[in-house]
Every structure is written in structure tokens, then in C-alpha cells.
Amino acid sequence: MDATLLRETFANALPYDRYLATDAGRAESWHRVTASLTPAQRQLLQGFVRRMPVLVLSGIWCGDCAQQGPMLQAIAQGSPCIDLRWIDRDQAPALRDAVRICGGHRVPTVIWMAEDFEFVSLLGDRTLPRYRAMASRQLGPSCPLPGAALPPDEAAATLQAWLDEFERVQLLLRLSGRLRQLHGD
């Protein structure tokens, strides 16, 4: 993936609160979701040392985004190394088209980058626990209505799956020979 496209899109993306303010009426469902980290999860995040720009292609109108977005924000708030930005997928058509998943423009799509905006990882639109839960229910549309509650165990598993990906990327960045040489560690 092109680092210039990632850098430019990131520069036009917004922090969480400013992103939600772009459609305050629909953002109410996001504000109803609470995502709390455990002490162990907070401790893990405090151990991050590599700067990690993270870009989320999203839609405030999207139920999956409303359910998982607050989780991503809670994780980002747990580490000063995570610079999380949000952009509506339709405001970034070049990137949206570059990260199609299963032939579609799925949201949320999270893109992790190194400090120089080199692509590191992508995860979209749902974590494995979300897909498992949806498969077990086998009903409803592919995107739940905004404000639809997640069972507590599914929410905790989804939060942990997102955190696991943040940790995986942090370790990848920390162990990167290129970045270790740059930082002298």
C-alpha cells in the first residue's frame, strides 16, 4: 500500500470526538457504548514504545462502527504511542478502493502504519469473536442497527481481539530491523 496515500489520508482524518461531531445525531449510538480496559490491558498498552499511526475508515451510520469504534478509542487512549484517526470511507475513495475486503467497502477498516506511514497491517470490518457470534446467531442483516447491544462476553472478546492486533503490530514495529536500526535499539 502506498505510504503517500496513507500519509495524506491520515492528515485529513480526525480525532475521535471531532469525527463524531461531523454527524452528531447519528453519533449518539456511539456514545451509548462503553468500553473499559482492564488493569492488565492498560498495563500492556503503557508498555508500547513505537509510535503507531492508526487510521480507521468508518461510517458514523454503521452499527458495527458504533459498537467497535468506542473499543478502538479506549485502546488508543491507553497508550501515548497510538495516534488514532478516523475518516468516513466515502471521503477517502482512493484508500477505500485500495482496501476492499471480499469485494466490498467494509467498515470499520483499521489500518496500522509505522511512524513513517509505511503500511503494517489491516483488519476490517469485524474481529473473529464478532464473526463467531454473528455466525452462531445466523440472523439479521450484515450490519446491526446502531445502538444494538452486544452481550457482555462478546463485547469483552471483541475488545480483546482488537487489543491483540494492536499488540501484534506494536511487537512487529518493535522487532523490525529497519526501525531498530533507526532508533538504535
CA distance 12 to 153: 35
Could you read off the pLDDT of 23-47 as tens digits, one per residue? Answer: 999 999 999 999 999 999 999 999 9
Instruction: Specify whether the CB–CB gap between 111 and 122 falls below 8 A.
Output: yes
Cell numbers for 13, please give them. Answer: 482524518
Cell numbers for 122, please give them. Answer: 489491516
Query: What's the pLDDT score for residue 68?
Result: 96
Could you read off the pLDDT of 148-168 as tens digits, one per residue? Answer: 556 668 899 999 999 999 999
Domain regions of the chain by residue span? 3-183
Q: Give the helix ranges, DSSP H, for the chain.
A: 3-12, 16-21, 24-31, 39-46, 63-77, 93-98, 128-137, 152-175, 177-183
Decide if pLDDT at 139 tops 80: no
The rounded percent of the chain whose pLDDT value lies above 90 is 84
The CATH classification of domain 3-183, taken from the options 3.50.50.60, 3.40.50.300, 2.40.10.10, 3.40.30.10: 3.40.30.10
Query: What's the pLDDT score for residue 141?
Result: 52
* Mean confidence (pLDDT) of the chain: 92
| pTM recorded for the entire structure | 0.91
